[in-house]
Structures are given as C-alpha cells and as structure tokens.
Amino acid sequence: MAGLKLTFYGTRGSIPVPGPVTMRYGGNTACLEIKSEDGDWIVFDAGTGIRVLSDSLNLGQKHDIHIFISHPHWDHISGFPFFTPVFIPGNKITIYGPGTFEKTLEEIIRGQMTYSYFPVRTEELQADIQFKELKEESFTLGNFKIETTMLNHPVTCLGYKIFYKDTIFIYLGDNEPYYNVYDDDDSDINDIARDMNKRLTQFIKGADTLVTDAQYIPSEYNSHKGWGHSTTHDCVNLAINAGIKKLFFFHHDPQRSDNQLDFIVDHYRKKMKEKGFDLEIYAAMERETFDV
C-alpha cells in the first residue's frame, strides 16, 4: 500500500467542546489532513482544529496549502481566521469547496472576517489566497486525483475521494442517509431515496479508508432526523457495503465523552469480530496520525 498519512486536528461536530471529558478525542471542530510520501498535502475543513494544525507547521518556511471545505457551517470554517499561515507573506493558500444558493465560496469565507465579526479583513491577509468553487467534478492536484460528490445535508456539502497510487481515501463531510421525508409508503419516493444512497455507496466503493460524520448513535437518531447527520450504524453499514478497510467515526457529537467513544468503538469492534467482517474501526482522535 502506498504511503499516505492521515492526521486529525479537530474531530468534533457542531461546536468546540474543550473540557475534562473530551481531552483524549479532542474538543476542536473539524480539521484533518492527508500527506503523501511524495509531499502531496491536503487539508480538509477549517474548523477550530486548523489552529492546532498551524501550531504544527514551521512558520519560518513558505507553504503552499490546499484547503478543501466540505461545506460552510461554522464548525467547518470558523478556525480559518486563526490559521496563522494566512498572515504570512509568501504563503499560497487555495481554498476549495462548494458555494451555497445565497453566496459564493469566497463570499462565505470572507464574510466571517467582516468588521462586525473579526478585526482583520481578508483583504489585509498577507498570504496569496485563491478560491476555487467546486461542484461534482474530478481533477488532479500533484499526485492526487480528486473526485467530489454531493452529500445530504441542510446546505450544499461535498464528499471527497482522493486517489494516490494504489490507495483511495474518502472524507465525507456532514451527511445523513436519504430517506422519504413524508414517511409514507410512496414507492417512487422510497426508490429515489434508495437510489441516492446507492449512489454514495458506489462513490466510495473499494476505498481503503473512510472518514465520515458519525454524530449519533441509533437511539439518538429519531429526535435528530433531518438534521443532516449519520448514526454510527449508518457508517458501519456503508463501510461494509462499500468494502472499506478502515473506518473512522468523525464529527463526534458535542455531548459525547471520551469514555462513551471508547465504549462505542469497542462495541463495533466486537460486532465485526463476531460477524466475521474485516473492517477496522476507530474514532478520530485529535493530534493522532494514522497510516492509511
């Protein structure tokens, strides 16, 4: 397998939750990176974890940084104004991601740095900052081939598939499986929901590693249906159906303690062993690096 390293800098969904019960898996919101042995480097999402990432960089060196935003909810962009490389001349930062019905990607990122919200405007940032708005498409970046797909979330949200040599890595931003919102027996609607879910399974099929929103456990889902997030069961089933080798639960619910995450991972690992499925399961942990 090709050399690809995955590091998490923020693993939490919705809102940062620093505190004694989230110290191990982390309280910062969504941010992760993959790095290839050839030096290819992609950052996904710019939640508060991206500040942790910036602390890990040698800021005396110039960096060419590619940040892929899944969608513009706060927990995926609010760390950007605190990402130190943006203040340093000579750095080049390219931000990729979807726009929304209301705003372009550039308006969204710049919009959180306007006078009422933040003292520094993006015009005053010293790095060379470029924006590339994405839809469903496919393109190359160094040795990476990248494909995107639309996910089911209350705002336009993209999932990313990265090919590197013989390895495929998937990062799905926030996502809820499609369902019949009328909750009736309309077979056409049920078929559409099923087909849309199959489309996602097809997109990730055969990947080695899947990092995905696993905000809820099944008992929490009914009161959060339509909020745009998956359950741990959804993620395990998706991974099994797609033949994934390593699954990382990500976007942990703000209420989820370290001990609960240990329990959840342990539960599913035992289930996989019992049922004979060859799927490795982890909960994403802040500042941890994995070979993928």
Chain residues in the site for Zn ion (CB under 5 A): 13, 73, 75, 174
**Smaller CB separation from Zn ion, 36 or 230:** 230
Cβ count near 289 (within 10 Å): 12
Q: Least distance in Å: CB of 157 to Zn ion?
A: 7
Q: Least distance in Å: CB of 251 to Zn ion?
A: 6
**Smaller CB separation from Zn ion, 31 or 162:** 31
Residue 47 and residue 173: Cα distance in Å, rounded? 12
**Smaller CB separation from Zn ion, 43 or 125:** 43
**Smaller CB separation from Zn ion, 96 or 164:** 96
Q: Least distance in Å: CB of 216 to Zn ion?
A: 13
Q: How many residues does the chain have?
A: 292
**Encoding tokens for residue 164?**
């590197």
The residue whose Cβ lies closest to Zn ion is 73
**Smaller CB separation from Zn ion, 155 or 265:** 155
Q: Least distance in Å: CB of 175 to Zn ion?
A: 9
How would you classify residue 122: left for phi > 0, otherwise alpha for psi between -120 and 50, otherwise beta?
A: alpha
Residue 198 Cα distances to 12, 96, 279, angstroms: 27, 26, 20
Q: Least distance in Å: CB of 39 to Zn ion?
A: 29
**Encoding tokens for residue 245?**
């080798």
**Smaller CB separation from Zn ion, 16 or 85:** 16
Q: Are 161 and 149 in contact (CB under 8 A)?
A: yes
What interhelical angle do 232-242 and 187-204 show, nearest 10? 70
Q: Least distance in Å: CB of 32 to Zn ion?
A: 13
Sequential DSSP letters for 247-291: EEEESB-TT--HHHHHHHHHHHHHHHHHHT---EEEE--TT-EEE
